[in-house]
Amino acid sequence: MNRNMKKLSKKIVTRFAPSPTGYLHIGGVRTALYAWAYAKKNNGTFILRIEDTDKEREVEGSISHIIESLKWIGINWDEGPDIGGPNAPYKQSERLDSYKKYAQILIEKGLAYADPYTQEELESFRKKADEEKRPFLYRDHRPENPPVWDGSQPLRLKIVDIKQSEWFDEVRGKLTAGEEALDDFILIKSDGYPTYNFCHIVDDLEMSVTHIVRTDEFISSTPKFLALYDALGIERPYFVTLPPIMAPDGKKKLGKRDGAKDVLDYKKEGYLPSAMFNFLAYIGWSPEDNREIITPEEFIGIFDLARIHKSGGGFNIDKLDWINREHLKKLSYEEQEEYVFKYLPDSLKKLPTLTNSIIHSITPIVMERISKGEDIVKMAEDGELAYFFEKPIYDKESLFFKSSKISESDKYKTLSSYLEHAVFILTEIDERSFLKENIKEKLWSYAEEIGRGDILWPMRYALSGLDKSPDPFTLAEILGKSETISRLNTAIELLIK
């Protein structure tokens, strides 16, 4: 308790420190989201730092991609490589002098030494350990008189106190590891670049980071971190270990086959950033109440480390779709119109019949049928939108209701007469009153008289050319009086040919 009180007296500083080795997946964004929210809630500082010391694995363009991904979901930072700050630079490759400074401090303390062995010698040590059925530990081969470190050899930490490690995690409580977890590990490689185990601790120290938010794969390395904290005389920060994001079946960690993809792919598929934020916030955390839809501002206000789960949270694409639908509902009508238009394929956008009025009219129909923008693309590909802009083409047999009561002997003449009467009724409706409620009111008694299926089905099919489409009253209103009557007349002509 005293340690916590002491720590809480400091300004809270968190960081997200990704490596630019490819796309940013949802697990990384979730880590950033929690670290960001905790800093924001406590009027602290959130830092974006780039861990780019593994030059062999670095992918060109990854840094800008990381920045774009975080900004898309609504995460911003107080210090970072793009905006600078009091602790600049924020790329580890530009901080090499800092690592050399702390390496020299450890050397002077007698707690770091140059590794004199070749790769072949190390392999022989490992092979002998395997033959003797014991774990390979570098400290068993620690040189008695190591050479002076000149930067051309790896520099290793000398762990002088081999003991059981104990630490407290804000999510998992007290954790321990046996002394076998400790070994002399590399601080700086022979290429002059530091290892993650070394440089992130130096960076956290120099940037006054108080809370280390990361996932559970770092638990096994924590004893090494603790040894380095002790060697440098650094006060331990808070450790906040997040649960893994699990595959939908809950039996394994989320992989590429299960949806672990570039977070910007979800943007391309038409998920709203607010929905993705909402979805990720709930993977491994839950509020005290039962709310499922939450805004970033609300999340910051109620976020609590104590509510982070210990066990993994499942990735459920159906849940993401549902959340996105709920956030789409929150858009204004104008924003929904813009959303629908954005995901219409170019083939439809180029049609002269596509007008603002049509987009305005079809928006509620489209919105009630989709979970994301990609669904609009699929609707268009399946021909479920083309009839709003183009006259449909169909076979006249399709105009007949499957349970039609019309006699086979004169079915074409009969159905054409039904449609002719429907046209007569529609002609009597004033253009300004050509609304679905009025259309239904005028046609309904006639439909009841001859059989609803035998007039409503052919009307709907004549207007859309599809088995599945909105009701004929809705279609008629969207298409307008002139186009509706024109399409019904086309069906009549087809029947009497």
Which residues are tagged catalytic?
256
Residue 403 exposed, middle or buried by CB count within 10 Å (0-12, 13-18, 19+): exposed
For tokens 């007349």, the residue is 489
CA distance 184 to 262: 36
- Contact of 97 with 202, CB cutoff 8 Å: no
What does R_g of the chain's alpha carbons equal in angstroms?
33
In sequence order, which ranges of 58-195 are alpha helices (DSSP H)?
62-73, 96-108, 119-131
Residue type, 157: L
For tokens 């595959």, the residue is 247
Cβ-Cβ contacts under 8 Å for 388 (sequence gap 6 or more): 358, 362, 478, 479
| Residue of 201, 258, 260, 262 whose CA lies nearest to 235 | 201
Q: Which residues pair with 16 in a beta bridge?
A: 48
What dihedral do alpha carbons 243, 248, 252, 255 form, nearest 10°? -90
CA distance 284 to 109: 42
